[in-house]
Amino acid sequence: MTPLTLIVFGATGDLARRKLYAAIAQNVRAGLLPRDTALIGISRQEMDDAAFARLVEDSIGGRWPSSSPPQYLAGNADQPELYGDLAGRLKGERGLHLFYLAVPTQLIAAVVGRLAEAKVGRNRGRVIVEKPFGVDEASARTLNRAVQRAFPERQIYRIDHYLGKETVQNILVFRFSNGVMEPIWNRGQIDHVQITAAETIGTEGRSDYYDQAGALRDMVQNHLLQLVALTAMEPPAVFSAEAVRDEKVKVLSAIRPVRTEDAVRGQYQKGQVAGERVQGYRQEAGVAPDSTRETFAALRLFIDNWRWHGVPFYLRTGKRLPERATRIQVVFNKPPLDLFEGAAQMNVLSIHVQPEERISLKIGAKRPGLGTHVDPVDMNFVYASSFRSASAEAYERLLVDATLGEPTLFTREDEVEAAWRALDPLAQRWDKEATCLPYAAGSWGPQAATALVARDGRFWLEP
């Protein structure tokens, strides 16, 4: 196995402590990363190697499994001396150098620029860049050029952790390995598609970032549009990274500009979530008392191509909603004739991404007994019971893919820019709006979100 050194910028941050160190440790234990994987953490906080090792072990709840103890460098992202020190640390490290940029988007160009100046990483390195990648299409294009000056495109891995989730990866297998699905996966048989990404939490200490980004940039531009692309893409000619990403770009480029009347923005007020009273968004620490940043977004999208013309994709995401859940629900057309009372139930295919990973198909079935009474029933596929093993965490899978040089589950430069281009006009309009529609914490968002689908004679589906 090729020797590996992981260099984490933002090493004391929330993402590193909650996700990255646990994913690295689990992969080392499982033999998916080398037993002597080296970890170098970089952040502004002053500490020595021993203190950093304690931080890492506290994060994973146990001993660091690699035979190489964690190392640490303190410094600012734009400090040249930091990169000289890093070059010195890496000089004796063989194999692949994987640079993980868990830093705000405004620091990415500085980090990769300094890496290039110090001649660190280009020859045998790869860089993983966390989202958000830019704040609009123009900044994403500028950032792409900056990163590509330091690393060739083949060595750049723009990460969206949703793509590492097992159920998301299974969308393509489900669609393209089952002959029964593809003939009905089009506007002739599908009435509409709903995609929901709901969170029960508030800003969770990320107020400084979130009050600048909001739900549209934080969730819709990356996570939800990735789910749209995988659900709507054409079959690739071959299953390869570039072929899959080519088809996703085509979908994102075909999204019709979102009209103001096809979008709803909201902001949570005080309320009750899971039996607990919670405060409103403007009362969160670090949020301006007059903030108009949205914590909820609902959109009606159209994809202008032959397969999906006229089929609405309804998207919604928000914080402080009643449940934590991400799901794609494909609603098929009703039968042309209602032969049985109650049989006009909509057939719904639900792909549940989290918290439980499963795929279910709702169909009509006869209720036992006299008469012909039709009830909706579910045909279920559940990962845990079908394969009798837990799915790997998204970051575990994505870290292994990056070390193997497998880019299928990472976004390409034109893909990122196309996703921003689809939402930029709406984001700019929302930035200028002075109000957000209020909704009580623990509800499903503003009433206008219900009206958005109701005016089409439809309704939001619950689990």
Q: What is the DSSP string of 320-339?
A: S-SS-EEEEEEEEPPPSS--
Cβ atoms of 20 and 8 within 8 Å: the answer is yes
Cβ atoms of 316 and 262 within 8 Å: the answer is no
| pTM for the model | 0.93
Residues carrying an active site annotation:
223
Burial track 116-129 (b if 16+ CB lie within 10 A, e otherwise): bebebbeeebbbbb
DSSP state of 184: G
Q: In what order do the strands lie in the sheet with 190-198?
A: 374-382, 358-366, 348-354, 325-332, 190-198, 313-318, 296-301, 263-269, 437-440
Find, among 17, 11, 85, the residue nearest to 41 by Cα.
11
What type of residue sits at position 182?
A: E
pLDDT tens digits, the chain, 463 residues: what are they? 789 999 999 999 989 999 999 999 999 999 999 999 999 999 999 999 999 999 999 999 999 999 999 999 999 988 899 999 999 888 877 789 999 999 988 899 999 999 988 888 767 789 999 888 889 999 999 999 999 999 999 999 999 988 888 888 889 999 999 999 999 999 999 999 999 999 999 988 788 888 888 999 999 999 999 999 999 999 999 999 999 999 999 999 999 999 999 999 999 999 999 889 999 999 998 899 999 999 999 999 999 999 999 999 999 999 999 999 999 999 999 888 777 766 555 689 999 998 888 899 888 887 888 777 787 888 888 877 777 776 778 899 999 999 999 999 999 999 999 999 999 999 999 998 878 999 999 999 999 999 999 999 999 997 6
What are the structural domains, with CATH classification, of the chain?
Answer: 4-130 (3.40.50.720), 163-392+413-454 (3.30.360.10)
Angstrom distances, CA of residue 70 to CA of 2, 58, 61: 19, 13, 15
> Which stretches of 10-50 are assigned E, i.e. beta strand?
38-43
